[in-house]
Amino acid sequence: MKTNAKNDFTFALESPHTPAFIFEILRDVMQWWTGLYGEQIEGSSGNLHDEFTFSAGGGMHNTTQRVIELIPDRKIVWQVTAANLTFLDDPAEWKDTTFGFTLSDDGGKTKVIFTHHGLVPGIQCYPQCTSAWTAYLENLARQLS
């Protein structure tokens, strides 16, 4: 885990797979954002303007996301359009944040960078949410190794 200049949560990994192969996995959030907290995902996540809902932790985390940027084999970004994180004082803390992936060729490997813009130190969710993102992204890294 590391943070960028704005302190947005960022996670980087490398994979021997091609950007095209990885991009197809990332477009389907059910392939990488599941398996830890009883997640339920409904909707679509891989085409521009697609929307999906994500629920986890027995209803403690409920969000709706929309694809707002899509560059095949290079970048996908979702905007959180609704948030109800019941374990926070402000359950809508994630609303209007964005998260996604950029992919680039890096000497025969693919560099994958995940950034959640708006998930920064100082907000209540930061410790728990970065821990959860790290767990999901470490699973993704193993899947892509």
Give the pLDDT confidence score for residue 106 in this predicted structure. Answer: 86
* Res 30: pLDDT: 96
Residue 93 pLDDT class (50, 70, 90 cuts)? very high
Which CB contacts under 8 angstroms, 24+ apart, belong to 103-106? 103/19, 103/22, 103/23, 103/73, 103/74, 103/75, 104/19, 104/74, 105/19, 106/14
Long-range contacts made by residues 77-83, C-beta under 8 angstroms, separation at least 24?
78/45, 81/51
Provide the whole-model pTM: 0.93
Residue 116 CB coordination number (10 Å): 20
Interior/surface letters 17-27, b for 16+ CB within 10 angstroms, e for the rest: bebeebbebbb
Output 18 or 3, whichever has higher pLDDT. Answer: 18
Residue 4 has pLDDT above 60, yes or no: no
Could you tell me if 55 and 39 are in contact, meaning their C-beta atoms sit under 8 angstroms apart?
A: yes
Going by the DSSP 8-state scheme, the letter that residue 28 receives in this structure is: S
Q: What angle do CA 64, 142, 32 make, to 5 degrees?
A: 15
Q: Read off the pLDDT band of 1 (50, 70, 90).
A: very low
The domain ranges of the chain are 2-143
CATH number of 2-143: 3.30.530.20
What is the mean pLDDT of the segment spanning 71-100? 97
* pLDDT (average), residues 111-119: 97
The answer, yes or no, to whether residue 57 has pLDDT greater than 70, is yes
pLDDT digits 0-9 by tens, 120-136: 999 999 999 999 999 99
Percentage of the chain lying above the pLDDT 90 cut: 94
